[in-house]
Amino acid sequence: MCFYSIEERVYELFSTSGKIKKIIMGLNKNSKTPCGFSFVLYHSREDAEDVVKYISGTILDPRQIRVDFDWGF
Map residue 58 onto helix, strand or coil. Answer: coil
Per-residue model confidence (pLDDT) at position 25: 92
For the chain, 73 residues long, give each residue's pLDDT as a single digit of tens. 888 888 999 999 999 999 999 999 998 899 888 888 999 999 999 999 999 999 999 999 989 999 999 887 6
Per-residue model confidence (pLDDT) at position 73: 63
| Domain map (residue ranges) of the chain | 7-54
Per-residue model confidence (pLDDT) at position 71: 84
Cα separation values, 32 from 4, 28, 60, Å: 12, 5, 20
CATH number corresponding to 7-54: 3.30.70.330
Q: Do 23 and 8 form a contact (C-beta atoms < 8 A)?
A: no
Per-residue model confidence (pLDDT) at position 34: 85
Distance CA 59, CA 71 (A): 24
Please list the residues that pair with 38 across neighbouring strands: 25
Between vectors from CA 67 to CA 61 and to CA 69, what angle results, nearest 5°?
150
